[in-house]
Amino acid sequence: MFSFLKQKSKRVYLDNAGATEIGARAKRALTDALSIYGNPSAIHKEGDQAGRLLDKARNICAKILNAHAYEIYFVGSGTESCNLSVLGTYFGFTKNWKLETGNSLPHVIVSAIEHPAVLEPIRHLEKSGKIRVTYLPVYENGIVKINDIREALSTETILVSVMYANNEIGTIQPVKEIGRAIEEWKKENNRTHTDYPYFHIDACQAVNYCNLDVVRLRAHLMTVNSSKCYGPKGIALLYKREGIKIDPINYGGGQERGMRSGTESVALAISFAEALNEAVELKEKESARLRVLRDYLKEEFTKNISDITFYGAFDDMKIQDTRSKKQGGDDDSTTNNEERITKNELRLPNNINIRVPGILSDEMIIRLDAKGFAVSHKSACASAESDGSYVLEALGASRDEALQNIRITLGRSTSRQDLDNLVKAIKAIKEKFSH
């Protein structure tokens, strides 16, 4: 009786690498700021009010990144920030410098598993014959090797771009060590910290869980996206270290100190800043909670699906480092020829990427969606493509295997019961539809 009044079953959202919901603090800041309608570039009262709120947002973000407010540039998306880093570096270089080696092309170093927001502008320049590119391998664990970067660096290198954490497999790259290696190379070649090559870090996926101190990371450029840290879509930032020269890629009124023309969205900026602030406050507690859930999910998958495959590093590993031994120095110096990364630093605490043999990614995602679970299999920016995951292929997966994975990314609302139900659902789908 009254069956039509039955409450709908709960949806379980497990695609937090694709986008997070807007948190309560960010939503409140967004709503409150909608009444601030003046143009922040205007000098009248309404414009000044908007400008002050924009400055507040910039100062909040700068404090979190351990940067100066004038090093923070608001843009429309993580993709725009990455494009500005890549294309802006190239255009700035060609306008201001000439290679010492005459006819050689500018050189860019990038990992093979970067987000399309980084890879596509690099490929565009490469296909146009404007740059030479070294694509760093990541091996089966999904981690780049520091020595590969050292060996690739040359006097023609203008940019090194390595993401902080991968959007598909969640592996965390040794970005602090990469920044140090670039700095040491510059010292060996009599270059200052503002000389080429620049080091760009795409930190979009790392924002909720990793240290964003740009000084510690030795970043010249860093991308942070609001929609990955429980903020609104349509806003992101680029950190650009003082003294770094990049050119804008759009032109107009010269907002954001000439780096990104277009009237700033004050409401989005302050909402983003509040979301970023909350993410930092929750980082330690939430990382610990999600790490327990992620490891529990991995154990449950192993128990219930015997032929499951997990992608990306989970266990302790060593990163080879053949730097000469140092005496003294700062707290980043080492006396060993090898540096160890602990388990907690190898992978984002909310990420699991699996392959269930016999079921294509899209089919598994659709069948899980019908059961109330939202998951994905690769970057949402590339999910419309029919090809498999190039990230998994870079780890050694075959083309067929790269068409059978799903990405599960936990969030603030994820519970153990959600994960128990997910395992049951995937097991049932496999038993019924695997072929």
Q: What is the rounded CA–CA span in Å between residue 354 and residue 408?
A: 8
Instruction: Give phi and psi for 334, each to the nearest 5.
Output: -135, 155
234's tokens: 């349509």
Whether the predicted pLDDT of 10 surpasses 80: yes
Q: Give percent of the chain with pLDDT exceeding 90.
A: 80
Per-residue pLDDT at 385: 54
- Average pLDDT score over residue span 305-326: 66
Banded model confidence at residue 101, pLDDT cuts 50, 70, 90: low
- Average pLDDT score over residue span 166-175: 96
Contact predicate 203/224, CB 8 Å: yes
Whether the predicted pLDDT of 238 surpasses 90: yes
Catalogue the active-site residues: 381
Per-residue pLDDT at 379: 60
- Average pLDDT score over residue span 319-324: 40
- Average pLDDT score over residue span 95-101: 66
Per-residue pLDDT at 316: 52
- Average pLDDT score over residue span 176-186: 97
253's tokens: 């009124």
- Average pLDDT score over residue span 107-115: 97
Helix axes 266-304, 24-33, angle to 10 degrees: 160
Q: Give 376-393 pLDDT, tens digit per residue.
A: 997 655 544 557 899 999
Q: What is the rounded CA–CA span in Å between residue 346 and residue 312?
A: 9
Q: Would you list the domain boundaries of the chain?
A: 24-278, 283-433
330's tokens: 């700062």
pTM of the model: 0.90
Show Cβ contacts of residue 28 under 8 Å, excluding neighbours closer than 6 positions. Answer: 274
Whether the predicted pLDDT of 433 surpasses 90: no
Q: What is the rounded CA–CA span in Å between residue 399 and residue 404?
A: 9
Q: What is the mean pLDDT of the chain?
A: 89
Q: Give 157-167 pLDDT, tens digit per residue.
A: 999 999 999 99
Contact predicate 321/146, CB 8 Å: yes
Which of 30-34, 97-101, 154-158 has the least mean pLDDT? 97-101
Per-residue pLDDT at 26: 97
Per-residue pLDDT at 239: 98
Q: Which residue has the higher pLDDT, 387 or 90?
A: 90
Per-residue pLDDT at 102: 59
Which of 8-12, 247-251, 293-297, 307-311 has the least mean pLDDT? 8-12
Peptide bond into 40 cis (omega under 30): no
Banded model confidence at residue 333, pLDDT cuts 50, 70, 90: very low
Whether the predicted pLDDT of 330 surpasses 90: no
Report the C-alpha dihedral over residues 77, 80, 82, 85, rounded to 10 degrees: -130
Per-residue pLDDT at 5: 45
Which of 100-109, 243-252, 368-377, 389-398 has the least mean pLDDT? 100-109
Per-residue pLDDT at 415: 97
Per-residue pLDDT at 255: 86
| Alpha carbon separation from 214 to 200, 242, 272, 291 (Å, rounded) | 11, 12, 18, 25
Amino acid symbol at 135: Y
Whether the predicted pLDDT of 325 surpasses 90: no
Classify domain 24-278 at the CATH topology level: Aspartate Aminotransferase; domain 2 (3.40.640)
Q: Give 11-61 pLDDT, tens digit per residue.
A: 999 999 999 999 999 999 999 999 999 999 999 999 999 999 999 999 999
Per-residue pLDDT at 337: 36
Q: Give 268-306 pLDDT, tens digit per residue.
A: 999 999 999 999 999 999 999 999 999 999 999 999 999
CA 167 to chain centre: 6
- Average pLDDT score over residue span 349-368: 96
Classify domain 283-433 at the CATH topology level: Aspartate Aminotransferase, domain 1 (3.90.1150)
